[in-house]
Structure 1
């Protein structure tokens, strides 16, 4: 029996923001998230450092919380210049394709540029950026139980081949071929 902890999900995920108030307003207006709580401290509780911050928490639905830190005494926030902008992102579930398309229309009406929908075999998604430069994704699951089972079966071999070759390994043939509607 493993001594590893039994996790009960993600308590919250935290990112940095440029302006806490503007971030709360944007997430409420664009994604309908409720602002649920905040902590403002002059000293960091875990380290004791003198570094004032505002830590805000937003309800992302389903018991999930998205949090941000505004750090006024730190250098201006940036991003990892060695990682493409499309890699690091936060993906949120929406119930179905109709909800995905409705969300896209709503977000575009807010003046936000949206990419997609993009087909990923077992889900479709749209992509856009928040005012802090964080890439966001809304995704709806479209995969069948059989497709999920096939991908789970292929996963160990795919990882082994990738680790050996650093090239895209064999995968389910249907994964990136969008079905045509007749």
Structure 2
């Protein structure tokens, strides 16, 4: 059996598929691939403009029963979804772009292995943009792990 190659997609349960699809397109530059309509669920698959990784946005209807709960990274399940950028400068630009779109951010946080920018989508799902900084070769993992 061959090893797995990469992540293909992640599907997120959202409170409002249409609102979130518009937000992922406007704020993060995702392109809509297709929509799915049904009585129990409505979904929209969004993809990076250059192709590759996809995010499914799934809203459960009355029969499926989308909860009125908000996302909580402290419950078992998803903590956050991190996207990648190419440079520290790009991360600063993303911070400015998100703020200009009215998105509250953590500001860029430098950590031993790079830098991270935290924010949430309209359903309150925790998202991040991460830049992998240079890690000196031979550095043990525990030397660069926060906490």
Provide TM-score, normalisation by structure 2.
0.83
Q: Which runs of 5 or more structure 1 residues have no equivalent in the other structure?
A: 43-51, 155-170, 177-182
Equivalent residue in structure 1 for 2:60, among 43, 64, 71:
71
Superposed CA RMSD in Å reads 2.3
Q: Which runs of 5 or more structure 2 residues have no equivalent in the other structure?
A: none
Q: Deviations over 1:6-48 (max 9, x none)?
A: 3122221111011111111101111111111122234xxxxxx
How many Å separate the matches in 2 of 1:110 and 1:82? 24
The list of structure 1 runs, each at least 4 consecutive aligned residues, that deviate by more than 6 angstroms after superposition, is none
1:110-149 correspondence runs (5 A): 110-144=101-135, 146=137, 149=138
Provide TM-score, normalisation by structure 1.
0.68
Counterpart contact for 1:129–1:136, Cα < 8 Å: yes
Larger RCO (CA within 8 A; separation ≥ 6): 2
1:35 aligns with 2:32: yes
**How many corresponding residue pairs?**
141
Counterpart contact for 1:125–1:140, Cα < 8 Å: yes
Q: 1 or 2, which has the higher helix percentage?
A: 1
Show the counterpart of 2:42: 54
